[in-house]
Amino acid sequence: MKITIVIVIVVFVLFSCGNIKISTPEGFAKIKSGHTFQAISPEGLPFQVKWFKNYPEKDLSFWAQALRSHLEQEGYRFISTVSLDLGALKMECLEWGAPYGGADYIYLTALMVKNNKILLAEAAGEISLYQKYQQALKKSLETLNIP
């Protein structure tokens, strides 16, 4: 009986500490929350926030540079970066441009590092659609509550 209680407590602690707490961007519908948060606009603009293992364990600057290097090699064009202060943590938000079909798209990547975890937020859509929701996405990211 005691072993079962200990196992339940350990499982609860392991899985509850990684839950993502964030406000759904205005105009979006929440699809999923928990360890991964997903929402979508009525037009189909996806927004996702999820955790990854920080391995090898490095800081935000390292991972932002690694992401930037990787996406540039894949042909994405860097547009801008914005740093957000979320209490004791910082988030780097990077926007990328890429042609897709006959249209130009913007891809948002936002990174945060906390101890042994990396939080990655992503959204992507055709430029005019992305711009319609750009401020709502930023406001949502500012509400991120990291346990």
> Over 60: is that where the pLDDT of 143 sits?
yes
**Residue 88 confidence (pLDDT):** 83
- Output the DSSP codes for 40-66: E-TT--EEEEEEEE-SS---HHHHHHH
Q: Which amino acid is at 108?
A: L
**Residue 145 confidence (pLDDT):** 83
**Residue 19 confidence (pLDDT):** 87
> Over 80: is that where the pLDDT of 5 sits?
no
Q: Do 51 and 118 meet the contact criterion of CB atoms below 8 Å apart?
A: yes
**Residue 18 confidence (pLDDT):** 66
| SS3 of residue 128 by DSSP | helix
- Locate tokens 């750009």: which residue? 134
| pTM given for the model | 0.84
**Residue 146 confidence (pLDDT):** 73
- Locate tokens 């390292």: which residue? 62
**Confidence category of residue 37, pLDDT binned at 50, 70, 90:** very high
The residues spanned by each domain of the chain are 2-142
> Over 90: is that where the pLDDT of 8 sits?
no
Domain 2-142, CATH among 3.30.70.660, 3.40.1000.10, 3.40.190.170, 1.10.10.60:
3.40.1000.10
> Over 50: is that where the pLDDT of 124 sits?
yes
> Over 50: is that where the pLDDT of 4 sits?
no
> By C-alpha distance, which of 114, 123, 131, 129 is closest to 42?
129
pLDDT digits (tens, 9 = 90+) for 111-120: 999 989 999 9
DSSP 145: B
